[in-house]
Every structure is written in structure tokens, then in C-alpha cells.
């Protein structure tokens, strides 16, 4: 049985797990049986790497030279990674292929040890759907560390999920542009025939959450839109992150049902109950689209370009709520849902065509 390593995040922002589900569905369509292994980029799992190459210098009276202590040695020396995932001290000699699942966090300290190992790795390397984010705006691709760029050039397949990253990589990397693998995260889908129930995938605001938050402007806009639409349709609020559950629960009380799970595998069932989804989360729109549900995405970052691959309608925070309501009421749900399902199927075929020369392993 072949072993495939996926660089992803577990028990963080579950959008990364939606991407993983889609990536695995792509691979499974051309490699029906394999052992999935993950490199878990969850920050809590990668704490040891934050201390790597960082020293604590101590001055002691009567000693001319400072004492230098390596922080990683102090906290983690001889301690194993107690997570069921690929550790930085493992060899790649049991791995038959390496897949970077589509996420903006595909260049980070968490992945540096893997990139170093890939210099000597002879197996296939695939980048499937990495995306652009604001951090790239301050530097050119040519300014990135050579180790990342060397592995990008070595990769057998490099598919990006948004046009911003496609342009960013030029001319060094000749990448393909396809929708994010999250479009394929659900193996099932169904055509929606009527508009009755709308899911709102929302986030807590800055101050109520320490990570994964939105600005007060976006927060206030999304709640105003929720209130406007709730007068005409049944609505529920979906939270991907525990601080969203806490913050929005405190804000909304019992006014609307709030759905949440610690387990990303529960979200297909949650989203499947909706006929339309309005989302501040890029991959809330991705999960919905995979199920055949049309979406509106509230734009608040450069990552929004990704939702074009989900055929999502983009909402700007200055758009009047009443105008958006009018767009929703005028939507031909049946036609839009059918278009999504056809788009999903053609996207899978496009991935299969590019990857076919490398599979089965």
C-alpha cells in the first residue's frame, strides 16, 4: 500500500480540513487505495519549530562571556511529538508522494523542515491549490528563501487556486489555475430546487476572538444582512471556530439557531440543510458549493479571489442589504445549483487530467 503525505492543518480552522477532504477525493479518484499520512501544521503541534534557531543569552556577574541556551533544547529536547502525524525528525523514506493541500499557508516556518527533506526526495511532489494572501504583498516571489523556490521548481505539478498567486509566481513558476480543492470536499451533492432556508457562515469580531476574526465593519455588516434576510427566509448561523461560537452566541443569544462542531467532518451535514449560503469564510462558500448550494461571499481580504472558483457572488461591505436581498430573491436556485454541480464535475476532470501521468503510484 502506498503512503501519501498531505501537508495540512487538523483541529485549527476547519476550512483547511475542507481543502484536505477535497484533495483526498481528487487523489482517491485516480489512486483508489493508499495510506493518508499528514504533516499537521496546527500551531500547537508546531510550537517546537517556533523555538528552533532561537537562543536565550544570559549575562552572569563574574563571567566574561554570555551563556547562550537554545530554546528548542530547553523545552523540547528528547521529547517526541505526541501527535499522530509526520514529525520533523522523521525521514521521508516511507513516503511515496507529497501533497501540499491548497491553503495560503504553504510557505511558513512549519514547513521548512519538510522543504529541507524534499531537496533529497525522489518521489513526486504536488502543490494542489495553494492561494495568495496579504503577506505576499510586501515581497516579490524572487525574494523568498531559496529552499522554498527550489522545491516549487522541483514540483511535478503546481496548481494554484486564485489568479493573484498565478501572477505572483510568474515568471519563475509555470502554474495551472483551477478552483480550490475544497470545491470537491463533499463526495455527494444534490440539486437545490427552491429557496427556503439560508445558512450564514459568520465570524467573531476583533476583540471577541484572538484569531480568525473579522473587523468590526465586516461584523456589523454581516449581522445587519442577517437581520434583513431573516425577515423573509428561515436562517441559521454556522460557526467554524470555537471563538465564533462564543462571540456570536453572546451577541445573538437565542435569536437564531447557531451550528458548530469541533469536527470538520460534521460540516457537510450541517451545510446540506441549506438552499443558499452567505459567508464571510471563503471555505464556508467552498463547502456549500461542493454540495451544490449557491453562495454569496462577503469580501474582506485578498483571499476572496478564491471564491470565484466556487462560482460565488461577491458582496462588498458597502453594498446595501436591501439590494443583496433583492438579488437573493431573484436568484434562480435550480439553475445556479445545476451550474455548480456541472462545474464541480468538470473541475474534478481537470485535476484528473493533470495528475493522470503520475497515478497510480
The CATH number of whichever domain residue 271 belongs to comes to 3.40.50.2000
Let me know whether 134 and 246 are in one domain.
no
62 plus 107 within the same structural domain: yes
Predicted pLDDT at 75? 67
Residues 294 and 259 in one domain: yes
Answer whether residue 104 is part of any domain. yes
Q: Which are the contacts of 72, defined by CB distance < 8 A and separation ≥ 6?
A: 48, 51, 52, 53, 54
> Could you tell me if residue 262 is inside a domain?
yes
Other beta carbons within 10 angstroms of residue 265's beta carbon come to 11
Domain identity same for 280 and 176:
no
- Statement to judge: residues 122 and 210 lie in one domain: no
State the pLDDT at residue 156.
Answer: 98
The boundaries of the domain holding residue 113 are: 3-68+82-184+347-358
State residue 55's pLDDT score: 75
CA angle in degrees (0–180, nearest 5) for 312-189-213: 45
Q: Which three cell numbers stand for residue 207?
A: 476583540
User: Given this model, what pLDDT does residue 43 score?
Assistant: 83
Position 309 scores a pLDDT of: 97
Closest CA to 343 of 299, 291, 304, 302: 291
Do 226 and 170 lie in a common domain? no
Task: Give the CA-trace dihedral at 144, 145, 150, 156, to 10 degrees.
Answer: -50
Work out the burial of residue 254: count CB atoms within 10 Å of its CB; fewer than 13 is exposed, 13-18 middle, 19 or more buried: exposed
Distance CA 192, CA 333 (A): 6
Q: Output the DSSP codes for 19-66.
A: HHHHHHHHHHHHS-S-EEEEEE--TTTTHHHHTTT-EEEE--TT-SSP
337 assigned to some structural domain: yes
pLDDT digits (tens, 9 = 90+) for 107-153: 888 899 999 999 999 999 999 999 998 878 778 899 888 999 999 99
User: Do residues 101 and 231 both lie within one domain?
Assistant: no
Are 258 and 164 contained in the same domain? no
Q: Which of 24, 30, 33, 28 is nearest to 6 (CA)?
A: 24
Tell me the pLDDT of the chain (361 aa) as tens digits.
999 999 999 998 899 999 999 999 999 999 999 999 999 998 888 777 777 777 777 776 767 777 777 777 776 777 788 899 999 999 999 999 999 987 767 888 889 999 999 999 999 999 999 999 887 877 889 988 899 999 999 999 999 999 999 999 999 999 999 999 999 999 999 999 999 999 999 999 999 999 889 999 999 999 999 999 999 999 999 999 999 999 999 999 999 999 999 999 999 999 999 999 999 999 999 999 999 999 999 999 888 999 999 999 999 999 999 999 999 999 999 999 999 999 999 999 999 999 999 999 9
- What pLDDT sits at residue 78? 74
Q: Are residues 213 and 129 in the same domain?
A: no
List the CATH number of the domain containing 170.
Answer: 3.40.50
Closest CA to 161 of 131, 183, 200: 131
Same domain flag for 222 and 180: no
Residue 212 forms part of a structural domain = yes
Q: What is the pLDDT of residue 29?
A: 97
Q: Is residue 333 part of a domain?
A: yes
In a domain, 76, yes or no: no
Both 171 and 290 in one domain: the answer is: no
241 shares a domain with 116: no
Domain membership flag for residue 353: yes
What are the distances in angstroms from CA 308 to CA 14, 124, 128, 344?
A: 20, 29, 17, 13
CA dist 169 and 142 (Å) reads: 9
Cα distance between residue 236 and residue 59, in whole Å: 58
pTM more than 0.85: yes
What's the domain count of the chain?
A: 2
Length of the chain (residues):
361
Whether 99 maps to a domain, the answer reads yes
Q: What is the pLDDT of residue 104?
A: 67
In DSSP terms, which residues pair with 238 in a beta bridge?
201, 259
pLDDT at 201: 98
Amino acid at each position: 500500500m502506498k503512503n501519501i503525505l498531505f501537508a495540512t492543518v487538523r483541529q485549527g480552522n476547519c476550512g483547511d480540513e475542507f481543502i484536505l477532504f477535497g484533495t483526498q477525493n481528487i487523489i482517491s479518484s485516480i489512486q483508489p487505495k493508499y495510506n493518508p499520512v499528514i504533516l499537521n501544521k496546527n500551531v500547537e503541534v508546531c510550537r517546537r519549530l517556533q523555538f528552533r534557531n532561537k537562543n536565550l543569552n544570559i549575562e552572569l556577574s563574574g563571567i566574561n562571556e554570555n551563556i547562550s541556551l537554545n530554546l528548542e533544547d530547553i523545552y523540547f529536547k528528547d521529547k517526541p511529538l505526541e501527535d499522530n502525524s509526520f514529525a520533523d525528525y522523521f525521514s521521508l523514506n516511507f513516503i511515496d508522494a507529497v501533497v501540499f493541500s491548497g491553503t495560503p499557508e504553504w510557505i511558513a516556518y512549519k514547513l521548512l523542515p519538510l522543504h529541507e527533506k524534499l531537496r533529497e526526495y525522489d518521489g513526486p511532489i504536488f502543490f494542489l491549490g495553494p492561494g495568495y494572501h496579504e503577506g505576499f504583498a510586501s515581497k516579490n516571489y524572487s525574494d523568498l528563501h531559496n529552499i522554498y523556490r527550489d522545491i516549487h521548481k522541483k514540483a511535478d505539478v503546481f496548481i494554484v487556486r486564485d489568479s493573484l498567486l498565478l501572477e505572483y509566481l510568474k515568471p519563475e513558476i509555470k502554474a495551472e489555475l483551477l478552483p480550490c480543492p475544497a470545491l470537491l470536499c463533499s463526495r455527494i451533492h444534490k440539486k437545490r430546487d427552491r429557496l427556503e432556508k439560508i445558512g450564514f457562515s459568520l465570524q467573531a469580531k476583533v476583540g471577541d476572538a484572538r484569531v480568525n476574526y473579522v473587523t468590526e465593519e465586516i461584523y456589523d455588516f454581516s449581522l445587519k444582512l442577517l437581520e434583513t434576510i431573516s425577515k423573509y427566509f428561515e436562517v441559521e448561523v454556522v460557526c467554524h471556530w470555537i471563538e465564533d461560537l462564543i462571540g456570536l452566541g453572546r451577541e445573538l443569544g437565542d435569536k437564531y439557531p447557531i451550528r458548530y462542531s469541533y469536527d470538520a467532518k460534521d460540516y457537510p451535514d450541517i451545510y446540506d440543510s441549506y438552499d443558499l449560503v452567505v459567508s464571510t469564510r471563503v471555505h464556508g462558500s467552498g463547502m456549500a458549493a461542493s454540495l451544490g448550494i449557491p453562495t454569496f461571499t462577503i469580501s474582506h481580504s485578498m483571499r476572496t479571489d478564491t471564491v470565484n472558483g466556487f462560482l460565488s457572488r461577491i458582496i462588498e461591505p458597502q453594498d446595501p442589504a436591501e439590494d443583496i436581498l433583492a438579488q437573493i430573491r431573484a436568484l434562480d436556485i435550480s439553475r445556479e445549483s445545476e451550474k455548480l454541480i456541472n462545474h464541480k464535475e468538470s473541475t474534478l476532470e481537470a485535476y484528473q487530467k493533470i495528475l493522470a501521468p503520475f497515478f497510480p503510484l
